[in-house]
Every structure is written in C-alpha cells, then in structure tokens.
Amino acid sequence: MIKNISEKYGLKIAFTTSYHPQSNGMVERGHGPLVASLSKYCIKNPYFWPQKLHLALWADRITAKRTTGEAPYKLVYGQDCVLPIELDVESWSTSFWKSEMTTEELLECRIKQLDKKKEIISRASTKLKESRKKNAIYFNKKHNIRSEPLKVGDMVLQFDNTIGKQRHLKLSNRWYGPYIVTKDNKNGSYYIKELDGAVLRTPVAGNRLKKFFQNDFSIPTVSSREGEMSQS
C-alpha cells in the first residue's frame, strides 16, 4: 500500500539505518515541545495527559514555526485560527465579519482569502528551503557521521547499540566483527559483509563502524645455531 501511495503522489521514500535515531531527527524534533508542554500542563496529574493531547496538538498547529515563519494551520487554510474565546470576545479576527455585508461582498472576501493562500505557501516554501540549507551547512560542519570515510575493502568492527546502558552488560564487549566494507552509500552509511562473503542485508551508519587493525604477531623461533633466535 505504501508503495502504491508513494508512486501515485511521486513521493521518494528514504530508509534509515537501524540503531541510528539521528536519521529521524527532523521528525522527532517536533515531538520534544509537545512532550514538554504536556508535562508542564499536567504536572499535578501526569496520568491526565491523554485527555489533553488534542489541546497540545491544536496549540502546536496554530503556532508559527521558525522554519516557515507561519503556523501549519495558516498554511492549510490560508488564515489564522479563530479561537473559541474570540466568538464571545471581539478580536481582530472576528470584528470584521460582524459588520453587515451583502452575499456578493462576503464571497469576494472569501475569494481573496483563498487566493492569498498561494502567496502564503510560496513565501513559507522559500523560507523553508533557506532554513534547510542553513541547517545542512551547520550539520555538515558540526556533526559529520565520520571524520574519515571508509573505503571498500576496509576491515571494520560494528558497535553493538543493543547493550545501551544495561548495567549487567556494562563489561560486555561492545564491538563485534570483523567485517569487510562492500559499498559506500555516499550518505554516511555502508554495506558490510562477513569474512565468508555473506553480505548483511541492511546498511550500517558510519558512526557505528571503526577500522579493524590486525595485530602483527612475531613468533620467535630457534635457529639451527645454538642460542641464536630469529623472528618469523
């Protein structure tokens, strides 16, 4: 179903690597303010938050975003949201509509409202693109997934994120492998394979890999001459 929807609307689906939550940062970032606001509002009764979730979502949708300069509600409907209290207490949003006007005048105002939506969306789209470019430049400077890229053929170890902060596993080895890099996806992730050639199905984020260096052991052996040692 997802494939059909993406093809119908021309959507490009990007798959993230496992155990790398930073890939979903753009989506998860919006959840922080919602959780924080619910926590503060329901501080006296934390278990009451499900009944107030719709209010938090509504407040979020009518609040202007830094990336677009507009509230999501305004981008959808072309005007600011009229709050319930404004139906009883006159405000700038409702005072104009309380004056008398003909049906033709009312329709003209509605048409202008709907037509203005294109301008609002165009302005928000331009600002969003500029914001994403700035964020990309900042991220690339401060948050490189790897300071040194890996090459195909490099032997690597993979970090085990499943251990986390579990105390009973804190002395366990967090790196396993080695593996061999088979492909650089050019987006910070890599495909790797076992030493027997079996390729892992999913790519791995670059910050979960580190180069594996084999120890060069020198085993001393006794030569044919008495007391003389050599290295092999």
Residue 128 lies in a domain: yes
Residue 206 lies in a domain: yes
At 188, which CATH number?
2.30.30
Range of the domain at 24: 1-61
| Nearest alpha carbon to residue 190 among 207, 173, 212 | 207
Handedness of CA 76, 81, 87, 90 (dihedral sign): negative
Residue 192 lies in a domain: yes
Phi, psi of 109 (to 5 degrees): -65, -40
Q: Is the domain of 123 the same as that of 186?
A: no
Q: Is the domain of 21 the same as that of 41?
A: yes
Give me the pLDDT at residue 222, please.
47
Residue 149 lies in a domain: no
Residue 231 lies in a domain: no
Provide the 10 A C-beta neighbour count for residue 33: 13
Q: Is the domain of 132 the same as that of 90?
A: yes
Structural domains of the chain, count = 3
Residue 227 lies in a domain: no
Mapped onto helix, strand or coil, the DSSP state of residue 227 is coil
Residue pLDDT tens, the chain, 232 long: 778 888 888 887 777 666 666 666 666 777 888 888 888 888 888 888 899 999 999 999 999 888 888 899 988 888 788 777 666 666 556 655 546 677 887 788 778 777 777 888 888 888 888 888 887 777 666 655 667 888 999 999 998 877 665 655 566 678 888 999 999 888 788 999 999 989 888 898 888 898 988 776 554 544 444 444 444 4
By the 8 A CB rule, do 209 and 148 touch? no
Residue 148 lies in a domain: no
By the 8 A CB rule, do 123 and 69 touch? yes
By the 8 A CB rule, do 2 and 13 touch? yes
